[in-house]
Every structure is written in structure tokens, then in C-alpha cells.
Structure 1
């Protein structure tokens, strides 16, 4: 079906906006999930093999069955569908998937409605009058009930605030996040985002804020926490065991929740279970190949595992993913973007790849023009290559604009 605006069952589908609208409102879909819906809608009722779908969605890139399964899971969740009693996307064992709902365009639906309207108009009028009278009489005998706040709205508000506190990476904010995630779980004990958030906050408490060396500037990385020895203590191990359990529960409840797998990877990394952590992070990237937070965590994990050659490429990928998502989530990305580029630049410089290091310093300065560390790094490379004038110009500009020196 070539149309990009179709009606599938109860849902009006706007493929260009990646949105579906139904009785309960509008739902945003990931682009690949929308592609799957449109693909199946193009052949309603017909079975499409997994290979056909994978090739259409991912092209020549090889993906395992898990990636397709997660995409189908997300689509069913958005449609309010169930695998065992499907009204939309049905699994055909050993063959693939098919769309079982009716598919039409708005014009077709409008024409069908117009065709039957003249036959229903008189009946409809009579029915409306009867219903009005019944409602009026019923209202005379009933007292109004007070409106109750929707629990889901309350949970959403709690999670938004908790996520905001957590992303500040300050002790008091992390403790506030812990309490808000706990409040959300009191309303819904099986809420996967709340479980993952609580697991993250508990893990960060042990990495950054508990034990020797956590005062003052404190620890800021998993590497520093492991080197401090604190994570080997009974107190830390007990807390991390709880964090792992919470994250595992989140992945069991919602296997398509990227942050739950990332939370599991972080908790396992802090507990020293590097191989299991690697698998959790890889699962997160199958679900969301642009999850830059997972890439950063995986980069640090590979350094801890003694595989630096695998570490830097993930930082480079994280940089690209952050560029692609910056417009959507600038507040969360901004504190990380420049630092990731600087780490890549320093590593390139340490290995003698000065031209690549220069490129990365310039990339940082393109997005963060007065980043002092990038200016110092680039000016040092330029001076070492014999371009003292350009190096001095960079330093002068930095000092005039910010007061900082090279």
C-alpha cells in the first residue's frame, strides 16, 4: 500500500509523523517500528517471512531474530495487541508474521460511511432521543462521583522528575531520584522504567557517593570506584545485588526496554560481572542501535576488560548517536557530548594518530567553540606541527572570550 496515511483496525496511521491515533489517544512509534507496520499493511492478511521483513527493514545489514522479535513486540505494545490473541499482528509459526486487521485509507472509510448514512439517519435520531431521555432520568437518581487522578499520569510525572534528578549526577539529586522511583513503584510495582531507574540510582550511589573517596569531588566513574576497593565491600555488594535484581525484573517485565538492559549492564559491571554486563549492553543496542549511553558504558567496560581497541570505537559511535539525537534531547546530551569527543581526541593523540586527534579536537570546537581543553589540545598539536601562529591565535581568542589561558 503506497499511501502513507492509512487506517488499520481502530488506529489512524500517519507514517510521515511516526504516529498512530486510536481511541485512547496518539502513540509515537520509532521509525523502524512504523516501517514494519506499513510493510505489513501493504500486504494485509498475507504472511511475510522473517527474512523478507528483515531485508526490508535493515537492508543488507545482518540482524538476528531477536532484533525483529523486539520490533514486533514494540509494535504490538503500541497497538495494544497480544501475541496469543492477536487482533493486529499475528505470528505464523515457522513462517513469519501477517497483519490480520482491516486496512483502508481515510477516503475509503469516508465513502463507506457516506454509503450507509442515509439508511441509518432516522434510526440514529430515534436512538439519540431515547438515550437522552434515559440519561436524563438516570441522572436524577445518581449523585456525581468525584474525579480521581489517573494513576498512570501520576506515575509518569514521578518518573519524569526522577529521571531529571538522576541525570544531574549529584548526591542529593540521586537520593531524590531514589525516593521518587520508589514512590512510582508503590503505585505500580511492575513498572519497568521505575525498576530500571531505581536500579540505576542504587548503582550510582555505590559508584559515586558511598565509602572512602566519595567525599568532596568524589568518584565520577566506574573505573575509579573499582580502583577504590569500595565496590568489593559487603555493603556495596549487597546494594549491587539488589540493583541487579531490580534491573533483571525490569527486563523480564519489558524485554524491549533499552534502559532496563543498560541498567542491568551497569549494575553487573559494578559487581564485577563483566561478561554478563557485556551481554546486557549488547542486548540494549539490539533494541536501540543509537543508545549512546549504552555505548559510553560499553566503552568503559572494554577498557576494564583490557580491550582498549574495542573501547574507542564505541565512543566514536556514541558521538555520532548524540549528534543525531541532540535536537530531541539536548539537556541530557550536552554534558556528555564534548567530553566524549575529547576522550577520543586524547586517545588518538596518545597512540600517535595526531591527524585524527586534530580532527576530533576540531569536531568538539565546532559544537563547543570555547571548550578550553579542546583549544589547549588543538593548539598543542598545531604548535608541535610548526604552526605556532595558528596555535597562538587559538589561545588568544580563548583568553579574550573567557579569561582562561592555554
Structure 2
């Protein structure tokens, strides 16, 4: 598809880039496809359901993926959701492109540019939505290739399709990995590839089917480990699944540490290890791992990981300083608002936290009537009243405190309803919400620490005793 102009930006669909003068910004594949769909229907209201069906066809997804994709487009365009120049939110319906695209004149069409290596990094690293805003981790850096074999070329072709981020390529990639194994049964990287296909598929599902696919992926990775024990990517993905799927913390730590030992330059390995360390109450080590991650992948500094670590370690003032640094560098996105809500609540600054909650609601396309109701609830009884209203209206969206039922548990804590909070925590565990893995260290749950049922929950998760480390200072 030819490049075209949208407002002050030149859009290059083949390069997934937007250029304005000497400035170039990247969009990942899915947000770019969504932007192209907008430009094919300028001035028309595109309804949320239709957008989900068109862009995420045959996938089981929630509206949140659409909200996040629109947020990425707006951030790339420098657009403001509240005073848009490009994409307008139509409350209760969907979105509308209010800036008409135009063709480039011939002298404005530059020669094709080679994308710098670091622009391609998001294709190799899919950052997880663990605690508040990322999508679940579906891949880590590709395995290093073993000796060249008859199946190696087939594996390389499958790997290319795997990282193309095209849904229709998954089956072809899986077939190529299978053919590679038929040529070379000892090719561990091909088993890794088949495991990654399952993990990607599982992230679009829920319940028993998703759990079954992840268990099958673990079995493949364990087989791959027997063939390629020194493969860092296999170790990292095994460690992550042992942590988030099997809740086997000891084995998870061993695998994640081994991945770093094998490849200390892979930013993903340090990121995953940091999240594991935080859940284990090892705050100082978690911060060190996060700093290493940012050193290796500085383009992700705007993701407020360090702020989350400080807030969890009961140092919200330092967390706020980190958020202020990010806000000075880039326009706050949805993840920033999520982080700000938690941090400002920890500081007791309810009005400011509520302002960020309103921003989250705007991003999620809540109607003006719903936002007005939320404001009225806050005026009546502060955040506790707002959170009660969210529960009563069965609003399950992640607005900063994760999705329901864990969100309901946290709302109930704010509303001083410990019994209800315990009930929803149990529901979250039953549904295996991954964010429950940080129950032992997150200070938000402090009001429940005197409840015997809460300690039973920690024991059930094998996290009992970890909470005693929560006051460790971050250096």
C-alpha cells in the first residue's frame, strides 16, 4: 500500500511508521491496521463491535484491546482524546476519524528507508500486561540457532511467520515447525516455536481451554530443554510459565536465573525476572533487574515499571517522582493513568487519583452520562463511593485496579468491606488472574492482613511468609 498523508504526518503502512519532518514514530502491526481501517472510512462512526470483528476476526478479545490500540495510534499522532484532531471517541458507540487522509504528491514520496534495529525490538519483545496495563506475555527473544541441519531452514521460515504478528500466519508457522522436526527431531528451537504458537493462541482465550494450551506449551518446552539445555529463550519462557501458570515459584526462579546466566544482554530476561522478584518480596533485587532492563531497552522507559516497584515497596513519593519524569518526557497514556491512580491513592491524594480515573474512563469510551455519574459519586463519598458504584453497575473493565473480579476485591477494600474483598479475591484465584501473584507484597491489601481468611489465601498461593519482606528498602 502506498504512503499517504494524514494531517501533518506521512503514513507508511509498509514500514509501520509515521513521519513528520525529521521525526519518525513507529506503530506496531495491529494499531497500524486499525489506523488504515479508519482512513478507509473517514468521517464515519465505526462501531466498537464492528472494529473488533474486523481487526481481531476469530479472536476472543475484550474492548480493552481496541482501547489500547486506539491509545497507541493517538500517542503516535500526538492526538488528544479530549480535544481530538484525528480520532474522536463517540461515547457508547465507537470512534470516528475526523481528519481526512490525502495522497502524497510524487516529490513527497521518499525512498524506502531501512528501519533501525531498535524499532524492530517490539516485534521480538511482547511486554506483559501483568499488574495493570500490558497484554499477557506471548513471546521472548527467539532462541539461538543450533547447528545447521536439514530442518533449520524450515524453522527459520516458521520463526519469521511467528514474529510477523499476523494471525493467519500462526498455522503456517506451526506447520513449518512440525516439518522442521520431521527433518531434524533433535531441533529444540522448533519445539520452542510450536510452544510459542500455543501460548499466542492461549492469550486470546480464557478458562480451561487457555489453561490446557499453556500446559501443552510447557510440555513442549520441557522437551525442548532436553534437546537444548543452554538455550536462554527456552529457559526464560519455561520460567515465566512456571511462575504465572503453574505457580511453581522455586522452579520459576531457577529457570529465569538460568536464562539471564545464558543471555545477560536480553532485556526481556531481566524484565521477567524483576516481576518474579517483586512477587517474592525481593524489592532491591527487583529494582536492580528493572534498571538493567531499561538500560538494555531504553525505549521502554516511558512504561512506569520503576514507579510500580517503588509504590509496592511502600515508597509512593519515589514512585510519584518517577511518574513525573515520564510525564515530562511523553504524553501520558492509559498505562500511565493506571499507575498514577495507585500511586496517588497510596499518597492519600484522592482528588488527583480520581482525575486519572476519569482519564481512564475517557480512554475506555465511557459515555458522558457515566462520567457525570462518577463525578457525582465522588462528590458524595469520594473514591469509596465511586468504587461501590462501579461494583453495583457491574463494570468489569480495568480502570486502574485490574479487571474484575480482582478489581471488585480492591474496590471493596477501599469501601471498608473486608468480607466482600476476601470473596472476590477467592473468585480471582479461581479464575487464575495472574495479578494475584503480587498479593503478598502489594500494600493495597494491608487492610486485609488482620483477616485470617487473607492468610489462608496466601498459604493457598504458597505466598505465606513473603509479606514479611515488604518493608525492605529500595536502594
Q: TM-score interval w.r.t. the shorter chain?
A: 0.3 to 0.5
- TM-score of the superposed pair, with normalisation by structure 2: 0.33
Query: Could you say which structure has the larger radius of gyration?
Result: 1
Please give the TM-score of this superposition, normalised by the length of structure 1: 0.38
* Structure with greater contact order relative to length (CA < 8 Å, sep ≥ 6): 2
